[in-house]
Amino acid sequence: LPNYDLSSCPGAISSLMDKAADALGARGVNVPLLYGGSGSGCSARANIADFERYRIVPSYIHENVEPILSTRILGKQVGTPLMIAPMSGLALSVNPKIMQLFAEAAREAGAILLLGCPLPLDVVRECAKIHDKVAWIVKPEKNGKTVERVREAERAGCFAVGVDVDCSRGVDIAGHVICQEWNSLGENEIGRLAHETALPFIVKGVLAVEDAVSAIDAGASAIYVSNHGGRVMDYNPSPFSVLSEICSVANGNVEILVDGGFKSGWDVFKGLALGARGVAVGRAALASVATHAEAQFGARAVFNIINGELSRVMGQLGIQRVSGIERKFVRQVV
């Protein structure tokens, strides 16, 4: 592929993320604003640290299998359970076309691309034109315009829409509080939004069982377990650590998506084993900026690397399909 040299990448996403931070810092980008967390940074750190508390229990004696990553999420056949999380603001700070480039890479991987808010409607339209698996996570707006955004997502060609409920007082990070213009949403308002659209409706930002119950009662199609990457509140539990209890409440009636600190195929495997249908990467997708051809080819590298790792662990454990990644393969050790 022209301008695409995966051999120039060291492989692991974490080291690519370090390279990307250096490259962005050299361009004058405020890297802590992208990579950092609220307050002491506990939530963001826990997102990563908690993966160590769960270990993969291998069973090596089995027939050889060729793993298949394709699965179904929100009614769509997808090429991988790996998704890109909604991230707004990157067009301004990283690359003006980054969402369109993500859309192209997601199309090639058959993966879902989630878009964030605020984001110009034109960008949403362009991404949905590029790729048929684009979902828009809109914000609860103070002026009641959220319903309008849901309609815009439909008209733009998104296959799903949702709202993030965890950012009503803005992002509080690296000494800045930004994006404070949003509202809290009650169960009735979420219900109205969910029933306003025929598209699958996602409620993003759930960490507590009570919120999972409210989202289900409101008619959500999917609960997206997330602490916004630790960017909105200090001392949250990691989404990964609450995943099992949220999945128990959902009891298979709604799909569970998750993000927060996922950076490798092993992390994704554990998220799937604890019951998630899809796992999104946020900052890990910024590793794409570390490759010399930047976001499109780089995002392709992100999919290739993490999917490759997931496929290898499935192969080692004799799991052919994503649906075969069960709870028994993961053990909590501390």
Ligand X SMILES: Cc1cc2nc3c(=O)[nH]c(=O)nc-3n(C[C@H](O)[C@H](O)[C@H](O)COP(=O)(O)O)c2cc1C
For ligand X, the closer CB: 57 or 92? 92
For ligand X, the closer CB: 206 or 218? 206
Please report, as a single letter, which amino acid is at residue 67. P
Alpha helices in the chain (DSSP H): 13-26, 31-35, 42-49, 90-93, 98-109, 121-130, 146-156, 187-196, 209-218, 239-250, 265-273, 294-317
Give the one residue of 131, 133, 149, 204 binding ligand X; rule: CB under 6 A: 204
The CB density around residue 323, as the number of other CB atoms within 10 Å, is 11
Interaction residues for ligand X, span 28-87 (CB under 6 A): 34, 47, 85-87
CB of 48 to ligand X, least distance (A): 7
The encoded tokens of residue 13 equal 């996403």
117: contact with ligand X by CB under 6 A: yes
Is residue 201 classed as helix, strand or coil in its secondary structure? strand
Interaction residues for ligand X, span 214-243 (CB under 6 A): 226, 228-229, 231
CB of 173 to ligand X, least distance (A): 9
Pattern of binders to ligand X over 247-286, x per CB under 6 A? Answer: ------------xxxx------------------xxxx--
For ligand X, the closer CB: 142 or 321? 142
CB of 208 to ligand X, least distance (A): 16
Residue with tokens 């056949």: 77
Could you give the CA distance from residue 267 to residue 264 in angstroms, rounded to a whole number?
A: 5
Dihedral angle of Cα 157, 142, 100, 105, to the nearest 10 degrees:
-80
CB of 320 to ligand X, least distance (A): 27
Q: How far is CA 289 from CA 26, 121, 190, 282, in A?
A: 12, 24, 36, 13
172: contact with ligand X by CB under 6 A: no
CB of 296 to ligand X, least distance (A): 18
Positions touching ligand X (CB under 6 A) are: 34, 47, 85-90, 116-117, 137, 164, 204, 226, 228-229, 231, 259-262, 281-284
